[in-house]
Amino acid sequence: MNTAATGQDALAQIAAAEDLDSVERLRVAFLGKQGSISGLLKTLGAMSPEERQSVGPQIHALRESVTTALAERKAALESAALEARLAAETVDLTLPAPEAPRGTVHPVSQVMDELAEIFADLGFAVATGPEIEDDWHNFTALNMPESHPARAMHDTFYFPDASPAGGKMLLRTHTSPVQIRSMLQHGAPLRIIAPGRVYRSDSDATHTPMFHQVEGIVIDKGIHLGHLKWTLETFLKAFFERDDIVLRLRPSYFPFTEPSVEVDVGFALVSGPDGKSRRVLGGSGDAPGHGWMELLGSGMVNRKVIEFGGLDPNEWQGFAFGIGVDRLAMLKYGMDDLRAFFDGDQRWLAHYGFSALDVPTLSGGVGTPA
């Protein structure tokens, strides 16, 4: 037997194998149980010791070189396959990127941005105050006496600990304490709005324990109700993007304004395609098919409140107003359940939310929906 010729033939076949399957078939053919080289090894047992001594090393060397050649060919084919895969799978940077999940601006934030934009144009700055207030700022300085019903335990969320000054601490029930804080901090003249969260012990379809208000206050010389009416009318026309907004001022009572006026706005009942009728703001509430809806509280700032703000009421006058921000959002964008505002349901947010890139501006339209 010519092991050298057998070896050469085997190595040539291995070198010619073009894929991993062929290499495996050759391995079985040479080294498998029935393989040709395995067969040669078996013949050693039947040989005389002298013969075995001369042929044995040749057969072992043959097996060795075939085993090595098979392993090398296998590795070469594997790395070629990997190279080919890498070449085929390069990332095409010119492909459009997969769309990243995009959040939306909550309607309450959107409306607050719209308010800031509209009032900035009227010369108002934006002020803030703490949501955890003391009862002096929330009630006393706003001329609400100890006996006022809004101070009752069941209406307001109190904290067990007293303020450093000794007063009770509570979650503010309105944004009006910012009137006091702004007067004390900035003095007069003053022109601010103060949007933010407020809290009341209330919960049903139209009331949530937390909701949003925007306060407005102007303190200057010679300020009168006409300024209040013009400011509210100008603001509401800009906010609802309608020139036909009609206001009705009704005498009312708030301890911190004197006189106090409740402001109603005219609407039309318009039936939609679903057969349900909707209130659409605009026009006089006295026109046929129209009505008035209560929108906000306001009035001339009470002399006592101006004094609590550290100013002389003989020198300075002003007006103030407070509106529900959630209410404004519902009226403008047509949601009908207040509670959905605070559920955090992604589907609601995707439907009613606004694009973060679509910043409200007076020139671009403060209310352009996403």
Binding site for ligand PHE (CB under 6 A): 174, 176, 215, 254, 257, 297-299, 320-322
Q: Which is nearer to ligand PHE, 322 or 353 (CB)?
A: 322
Tokens of 290: 């129209």
Q: Which is nearer to ligand PHE, 14 or 265 (CB)?
A: 265
CA 79 to chain CA centroid, nearest Å: 48
Distance CA 24, CA 17 (A): 9
Distance CA 117, CA 107 (A): 15
Closest distance to ligand PHE from the beta carbon of 366 (Å): 22
Quick count: other Cβ atoms within 10 Å of Cβ 261?
25
Closest distance to ligand PHE from the beta carbon of 297 (Å): 3
Q: Which is nearer to ligand PHE, 318 or 360 (CB)?
A: 318
* DSSP-H helix ranges across 89-202: 107-121, 135-138, 177-186
Q: Which is nearer to ligand PHE, 13 or 179 (CB)?
A: 179
Angle at 248 between CA 243 and CA 254, to 5 degrees: 125
Q: Which is nearer to ligand PHE, 196 or 299 (CB)?
A: 299
Closest distance to ligand PHE from the beta carbon of 244 (Å): 25
Burial of 29-50, coded b for 16+ CB within 10 Å and e otherwise, reads ebbeeebebeebeeeeeeeeee
By DSSP bridging, strand 168-171 and strand 132-134 are: antiparallel
Closest distance to ligand PHE from the beta carbon of 223 (Å): 14
Pick from 299, 277, 284, 287: which is nearest to 245 by CA? 284
Closest distance to ligand PHE from the beta carbon of 173 (Å): 7
